[in-house]
Amino acid sequence: MAFHENPESRKFTYRANDWEVFLKIDCESKEQAVGFEKHIKKMKSSIYIRNLKKYPEIQKRLLAKYIGESEG
């Protein structure tokens, strides 16, 4: 959310003022967060995103998968 509210990132999303937090996932590093985000976007599924919220075990598996990428 903070990124989207940053006036320096004058992207398309900057103009939206109706953001609301649907799901917050704490990551150990920026690399882990980026990997997680790319995975979610690649799925291209709102059902998948709802399932991430509904079934926390999916989040845990994905966090474990992407933690190795941040270690190089």
For position 56, what pLDDT does the model report? 92
CA separation for the pair 62, 52 (Å, rounded): 10
Band of the pLDDT at 4, cuts 50, 70, 90? low
- Alpha carbon dihedral 59, 60, 66, 70, in 10-degree steps, equals 120
pLDDT digits (tens, 9 = 90+) for 22-62: 999 898 888 888 988 999 999 999 999 999 999 999 999 98
Q: Which residue has the tokens 């075990």?
A: 57
Report if residue 12 sits inside a domain.
no
Q: In the chain, how many domains are there? A: 1
Establish if 54 belongs to a structural domain: yes
- Any domain includes 57: yes
What is the rounded CA–CA span in Å between residue 31 and residue 25? 14
Angle at 10 between CA 6 and CA 15, to 5 degrees: 85
Domain that includes residue 71, residue range: 25-72
| Entry pTM | 0.63
